A and B are shown apart, each in its own frame.
Chain A
């Protein structure tokens, strides 16, 4: 009997052969946290009775949640995290404006295929798209890693998601992962790993793959694994250890999606799995559109949006907020005129970071308001008022909708 790639990575780290269902403690190759989880991480660490973290070279801190701080408490907490980084000699500290942690950590080449990577943020599964095991935890788990260099894991079973065909014009990996969320449901992969395979995944860019793995957690999954290749190495600027799922590995479930025939999708308010073709909700008026986040704030997302909006105007009843996921992306988008295209059209360019995704600043929704967003969660109240609603969609659909003032199929734009 063979093994899955995730089983192999965890076995290699643990130094013994483990398989799905086993509990094991593993050394963590790299970990990271942000200004949102930093406070409780440091609080937990301070109660552990030791002065120094085990290895400052294996940790990154990225400020992305409150950028810039929106009240005095957020500023005070950031100052505390800054102090901790300095005291503990954490050199991989990225202050305000550098970008979102899940983008900055791979961009800087801190991780490599084959590693075990843990982040104190639920979307840390994004990094599974680099052929490594990556998962999100809470603050205390991260503090334990800082102190001991290790974490405990239940080795997950794997659901293989085979994406055949090649995505069509104005259809993106966001549409694909929304369709997969519909098929699996919000808890269809709880405690399990997703592994994305197939022609559509091999042919898409590393950035598009990150979008897929990013939303693995929305199906309950521990990680969203994608085998590494040349594209992965180019993104990271380094190679690593290649792990592959054996043909005869025990796969818990196989799911197939035909990417070639996929149409643009939206996740309707309340649940990420409440997914419909855009055509079914076309014409729904919107108050806000958001293009950004760790799901879809990368260069290619801005490029697709810019292509649609160039020479057009944002609808007068809509605020269209565009936020690059990192400074590197911002620099490139600025140089290539993408940001100009948005600004000329009347969009608002926000400060690099998580932006309005968490519903506390830079585009909070009021009562009864509707937003279409490229981010990853549409829970009740996620982006503001408990009486607001959020549709999740691709950069193309969000941009087309911002222009029309209502949900719009981007293939018409």
Chain B
């Protein structure tokens, strides 16, 4: 059973990819640049506070805007173990799964947690345990779980292609 337990960093609705990683940092071949500026647009000190294993909780439409994959990579490479949000913007959703970053779409999560809470996510059942009780969400469809468990779409391709 895949469970993730971690401390919560809480953000609001419509967290867009421009605040997750501003465009001025994109033209780089050095992947280590992006986690240093993760969510800088909302909290310039965030990258120095976030610890490996922490969980980001967002409101509605998390990751809206540009298709920049660096947004998902910045969050993942900062050590964040999962993002739980009311809803995700679809390109961010794909980018996260394709890079092996766990996502849980969970209605009611914003009201159920405060910053600094510790929550536990069961990726198989979609259950999220919070101080306020257990929230039920839909687990990812099996096909997407397979991509996630492969470690992302590149690994999935290597594993599934013929020959």
CB atoms of A73 and B16 under 8 A apart? no
**Which residues 318-372 of A have a CB within 8 angstroms of B?**
358-360
Given A141-B95, A359-B24, output 7 extra A-B contacts at Cβ < 8 Å: A39-B27, A77-B27, A137-B94, A138-B98, A186-B61, A186-B64, A379-B18
Interface assignment of B120: CB less than 8 Å from any CB of chain A: no
Looking across the interface, which residue of chain A has its beta carbon closest to that of B22?
A381
CB atoms of A49 and B94 under 8 A apart? no
Please list the residues of chain B having a beta carbon within 8 angstroms of any beta carbon in chain A: 14, 16, 18-19, 22-24, 26-29, 41, 60-61, 64-70, 72, 87-91, 94-95, 98-99, 141, 143, 152-154, 157-158, 161
**A-B contact list, 9 entries, CB within 8 Å:** A39-B27, A49-B158, A120-B67, A121-B67, A140-B153, A144-B154, A148-B161, A191-B90, A377-B66
Which of chain B's residues have a CB closer than 8 A to the CB of A40? 69-70
Taken together as a complex, chains A and B put the C-alpha atoms of A122 and B95 apart, in Å, by 12
Which of chain B's residues have a CB closer than 8 A to the CB of A386? 41
Taken together as a complex, chains A and B put the C-alpha atoms of A152 and B69 apart, in Å, by 17
Which of chain B's residues have a CB closer than 8 A to the CB of A76? 29
Interface size range of chain A in the complex: 35 or more
Please list the residues of chain A having a beta carbon within 8 angstroms of any beta carbon in chain B: 23, 36-37, 39-40, 44, 47-50, 66, 71, 73-74, 76-77, 120-122, 136-141, 143-144, 147-148, 152, 186-187, 190-191, 220, 222, 271, 358-360, 377, 379-382, 386
Give, as a whole number of angstroms, the nearest-CB distance from B62 to chain A.
9
CB atoms of A37 and B69 under 8 A apart? yes
Q: Give the number of residue pairs across the A-B interface with Cβ within 8 Å.
A: 120
Which of chain B's residues have a CB closer than 8 A to the CB of A381? 18-19, 22, 41
Which of chain A's residues have a CB closer than 8 A to the CB of B95? 138-141
Give, as a whole number of angstroms, the nearest-CB distance from A185 to chain B.
9
Which of chain A's residues have a CB closer than 8 A to the CB of B41? 380-381, 386
Taken together as a complex, chains A and B put the C-alpha atoms of A37 and B28 apart, in Å, by 11
Most chain-B CB neighbours within 10 Å: which of A23, A40, A66, A360?
A40
Give, as a whole number of angstroms, the nearest-CB distance from B38 to chain A.
14
Most chain-B CB neighbours within 10 Å: which of A50, A147, A220?
A220
CB atoms of B87 and A190 under 8 A apart? yes
Residue from B16, B24, B87, B143 within 8 A of A152 (CB atoms): B143
CB-CB nearest 5 A-B residue pairs: A187-B61, A138-B95, A138-B69, A140-B98, A122-B67
Looking across the interface, which residue of chain A has its beta carbon closest to that of B66?
A122
CB atoms of B67 and A37 under 8 A apart? yes
CB atoms of A141 and B153 under 8 A apart? yes
CB atoms of A48 and B154 under 8 A apart? yes
Which of chain A's residues have a CB closer than 8 A to the CB of B65? 122, 377, 379
Which of chain A's residues have a CB closer than 8 A to the CB of B152? 140
Residue from A36, A137, A380 within 8 A of B91 (CB atoms): A137
